[in-house]
Amino acid sequence: MCADDAKVIPAVSSQAEAIARAVEVIADRVRAGGRLIYIGAGTSGRLGVLDASECPPTFNVPQGVVVGVIAGGPSALTRAVEGAEDHPEYAISDLSAVSLTSKDVLVGIATSGRTPYVLAAVDYARKLGAFTVGLSCNPDSEIISRVDLPITPVVGPEILSGSTRLKAGTATKLVLNMLSTGVMVRLGKTYGNLMVDMRATNEKLRHRTNRIVRETTGLDSTAADALLDRCGRELKTALVSQLAGVSAEEARERLRKANGRVRSAVNANGKNGHAHANGNGKEELVLGIDGGGTRTVVFLASRNGRGWKLLGRGEAGPSNRQAIGTTAALAALDEATGLAFTAAGRARCKVRAACLGLAGAGRPGDQEIVREWAARSRLAACVQVIEDAALLLAAGTPDGWGVAVVAGTGSMAFARSAEGRTARSGGWGPLLGDEGSGYAIALAGLRAAARSADGRAQVTLLTDRLLTAFGLTRAEELVGVVYRGGDRAAIAALAPVVLDAAEAGDPVAEHIVRDAASELASATAAAARQLGLGAAFPVAVAGGLFTSSHDYRQRFLSALADRGLAADPVALVTEPAEGAVRLALAKVGSSA
């Protein structure tokens, strides 16, 4: 099935031009008061209703602007209504019920291209003057000649003959995603690649709005929340208010005049919100770079009042020289930097300052190699190369001091005192240490599964769960998978399997996770003790394990408390590159 599903992407890609044309037409008609209406039967109808129902919470589009109609009515969403698709008269009554007009765009979804219900719908819509799109997966089908614009991703026969919920359903979902998302982008529901017109109706979305404000404006979490409160928790209003330096009322008026487009509202009256000029009128561009053992993230930013504005984000592979070598690491840094400029729509240039927080760059010799590359690349006038953990303190502690604890593919604790002295514990790599990391936890789980399979240790849930994760059936097969294809990152990715087993009460997994959290707490205590930070200090945590598992974070904090230490405050850092931007801007300020 995986091999068969791989045919979907090329099929959809072949229709890019038609999809783009549909996006333009739909956006124009919705802007003029029309609607996007999906209609289909069975799986096709359900996918249309699904896409329509996601638009209001995702893009804050009013109910009724995107409509999904399914043969058989709402009850057909959860159970098959046999024969409904064979009644063309139902389609006309269903479209009359939603008051289809000539202003609307109707997307008829029929995998076969010959469903009577859908064919009648597009015929009726064309008579009314509505623009019609036909989405099918068969070449030369009936619907193609009966619509204004056909979209036809031909995916080929299904692995189960006639089961159109498989490849055809996947292709349909992808096309509908592109249509609705593309339309919302054209309507100003996004700012860059950020969804800025969503409704923060739950805790997850409230956190997301705070993150978007931070990424876009450079404010910290507390200031971002205060800004949102001043703006009635309206994300777009908050962005325009901060970026343009105007009140919430003025921001709302600018958005009204700009038809809801954040960029246009910010640019009103010559204010652009994209950059801050120094005394010579030159833009203060900086680069914040976070390079780790799994990925490299680059932020291209500019000063914006008392904060900063994210212009572009680039991401590439790992850049830890100790793990992948100098050539590959520098290539990742170069690629991610170029992508950040591309995302910002700017030509690559030498910026005022760059801060690179890199895994495996704690020694002067390692830092010098990176600085030489930065000089050759004309990266920045001022280049700072530091350990990646130092970024966490800049991004996640009130005053840039405390302990940063990383639990990702690798692990370590990095401490900094208020006076600037530093210390570290852990981070010795997979052979000598990295206790508490994703790699260490996953490896311990694999070893426990192997011992259990041999009968040398107690039975554990880990055996079956790890086999399932690899798609295997016998424990003996682990040898080939781990030794032939199991690089560090791939093995570390299995850590959540062990964490889930621990939460499920498996005693073997519980022991592994408890020991891992204890090791991280020991490293934290050791780093803090070297600097005499006392019993309470700020802690910034980061890395895939901490980000994805609340339970693991709590285990770590409990293990810290068992040692008589308190994380006060504690912050979860998801984008260490934010810290790199702040440090780069600080360098610009100190050299001004």
Name the CA radius of gyration of the chain, rounded: 27
pLDDT tens, residue by residue, 421-454: 888 898 788 888 789 888 899 889 888 888 888 8
- Kindly state the DSSP code that residue 85 receives in the 8-state scheme: G
Structural domain harbouring 205: 194-270
The CATH number for 24's domain is 3.40.50.10490
Same domain, 200 and 72: no
77 domain residue, yes or no:
yes
pLDDT tens, residue by residue, 49-59: 999 998 887 78
Same domain, 145 and 18: yes
CA torsion sign, 160 to 162 to 168 to 169?
Answer: negative
pTM for this prediction: 0.51
Question: What pLDDT, on the 0 to 100 scale, is given for residue 270?
Answer: 45
CA torsion sign, 248 to 249 to 254 to 258?
Answer: positive
pLDDT tens, residue by residue, 194-245: 777 766 777 777 888 888 888 787 777 888 888 888 988 888 898 888 888 8
Active site residues: 54, 85
The residue that leads in pLDDT, 170 or 243, is: 170
Q: Is the pLDDT of residue 485 over 80?
A: no
Same domain, 265 and 292: no
Question: What pLDDT, on the 0 to 100 scale, is given for residue 281?
Answer: 44
Same domain, 179 and 230: no
358 domain residue, yes or no:
yes
The CATH number for 378's domain is 3.30.420.40
Same domain, 17 and 141: yes
Per-residue pLDDT band at 269 (split at 50, 70, 90): low
Per-residue pLDDT band at 283 (split at 50, 70, 90): low
Question: What pLDDT, on the 0 to 100 scale, is given for residue 590?
Answer: 53
Q: Is the pLDDT of residue 535 over 50?
A: yes
| Residue tagged 């992508």 (tokens) | 339
415 domain residue, yes or no:
no
Last residue of a domain, one of 167, 186, 205: 186
Same domain, 234 and 105: no
548 domain residue, yes or no:
no
Interatomic CA distance for residues 565 and 551, integer angstroms: 19
Q: Is the pLDDT of residue 263 over 90?
A: no
CA distances from 555 to 63, 83, 460, 545 (A): 43, 55, 21, 12
414: β partners: 404, 424
DSSP states of 18-52 as a string?
HHHHHHHHHHHHHHTT--EEEEESHHHHHHHHHHH
CA distances from 211 to 65, 110, 280, 509 (A): 28, 40, 32, 33
CA torsion sign, 117 to 172 to 155 to 165?
Answer: negative
Same domain, 106 and 39: yes
The CATH number for 228's domain is 1.10.8.1080
Same domain, 212 and 329: no
pLDDT tens, residue by residue, 388-417: 888 888 888 888 899 999 888 888 899 999
Same domain, 258 and 180: no
Residue 535: its H or E element: none
